[in-house]
């Protein structure tokens, strides 16, 4: 597919304001199962009209599926994105009882907060970050996500309406000054969640190998992991169909000799492994590669 020719922040939102507001309003008033039925024709509509995103999905799926992806695989990829987006409504309105959430290495993380309450939690646009947030509700720790509020404004505004307090407890990305805010929160015992699979603005990036392609990751996140004296974890909250989510924690302990580049590559390799385990959970419907390994 050649070289990357666009930035994800320049991409149009993969949503339509009218349909998204309709689904949110219905989700508030109707049972989850009935709203999910509406996703089938809505997702079909997007699959039919979003030709560029179909190509991107097919390219990605060709790296993680054991067979050549067809239109049904692409449809499922789109549908899982829509299902996770719908579930945000229920997570943000506190309807956690609708879901079965299982964890891996959860207790080890909880135990580590006795000594280190401020930690990094690093993931990608993989599954549902909101499933991680449910653990914070049991008061084992406080966690603040860093969010670029200017992007995907329709979704952000709707989520603010659903749960204003949730977005009062985030760190808005503001460039370099955000790193100081992150440090101060970590020092005070508040953990930080960061999504590290997309470049942020015009900030410095690192080129890494990912599923046979070359992609750019935000250097600043991995520089903080290297230089700040706080523990770091990768986490992946994957959707498993129906009402099931699975949250996996991976505590990382970089060697003192590891470079920032090496830490970024470790993240990329770990994310790639998660994508192979659960192919339909990675939601990057833009040309994320700098150099693609082959044409799909």
Summarised one tens digit per residue, pLDDT across range 246-272 is: 999 999 988 889 999 999 999 999 999
Question: In the prediction, which pLDDT does 136 show?
Answer: 55
Rounded percentage of the chain residues whose pLDDT exceeds 70? 86
Q: Tell me the per-residue pLDDT of 48-107, one tens digit each, with 9 for 90 and over.
A: 998 999 999 999 999 999 999 999 999 999 999 999 989 988 888 888 889 999 989 888
The token pair that represents 164 in the structure block: 């204003």
**Least confidently predicted of 3-12, 27-36, 125-134, 264-273:** 3-12
* pLDDT, mean of residues 193-215: 89
Question: In the prediction, which pLDDT does 134 show?
Answer: 65
Sheet of strand 205-210, all strands in order from the earlier edge strand to the far edge: 205-210, 213-218, 289-291
- If you average pLDDT over every residue of the chain, what do you get? 85
The token pair that represents 232 in the structure block: 């770091």
- Asked whether residue 135 carries a pLDDT value surpassing 70, the answer given is no
Q: Tell me the per-residue pLDDT of 137-182, one tens digit each, with 9 for 90 and over.
A: 556 578 888 887 666 677 677 777 777 776 677 888 887 888 999 9
Q: Which residue has the higher pLDDT, 293 or 2?
A: 293
Residue 8 pLDDT class (50, 70, 90 cuts): very low
Question: In the prediction, which pLDDT does 139 show?
Answer: 60
Residue 19 pLDDT class (50, 70, 90 cuts): low
Question: In the prediction, which pLDDT does 71 show?
Answer: 97
């Amino acid at each position: 597919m050649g070289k990357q020719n666009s930035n994800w922040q320049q991409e149009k939102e993969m949503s339509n304001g009218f349909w998204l507001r309709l689904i949110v309003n219905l989700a508030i008033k109707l049972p989850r199962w009935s709203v999910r039925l509406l996703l089938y024709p809505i997702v079909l509509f997007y699959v039919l009209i979003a030709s560029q995103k179909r190509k991107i999905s097919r390219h990605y799926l060709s790296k993680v599926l054991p067979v050549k992806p067809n239109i049904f695989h692409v449809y499922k990829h789109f549908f899982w994105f829509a299902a996770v987006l719908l579930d945000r409504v229920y997570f943000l309105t506190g309807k956690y009882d609708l879901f079965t959430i299982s964890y891996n290495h959860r207790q080890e993380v909880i135990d580590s907060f006795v000594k280190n309450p401020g930690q990094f939690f690093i993931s990608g646009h993989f599954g549902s970050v909101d499933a991680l947030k449910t653990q914070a509700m049991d008061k084992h720790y406080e966690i603040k996500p860093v969010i670029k509020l200017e992007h995907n404004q329709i979704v952000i505004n709707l989520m603010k309406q659903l749960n204003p307090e949730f977005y009062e407890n985030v760190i808005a990305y503001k460039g370099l000054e955000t790193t100081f805010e992150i440090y101060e929160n970590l020092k005070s015992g508040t953990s930080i969640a960061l999504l590290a699979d997309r470049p942020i603005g015009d900030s410095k990036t690192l080129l890494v190998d990912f599923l046979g392609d070359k992609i750019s990751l935000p250097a600043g996140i991995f520089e903080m992991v290297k230089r700040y004296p706080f523990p770091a974890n990768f986490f992946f909250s994957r959707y498993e169909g129906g009402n099931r989510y699975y949250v996996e924690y991976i505590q990382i302990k970089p060697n003192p000799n590891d470079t920032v580049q090496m830490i970024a590559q470790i993240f990329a390799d770990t994310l790639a492994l998660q994508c192979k385990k659960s192919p339909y959970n990675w939601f990057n419907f833009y040309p994320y590669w700098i150099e693609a390994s082959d044409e799909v």
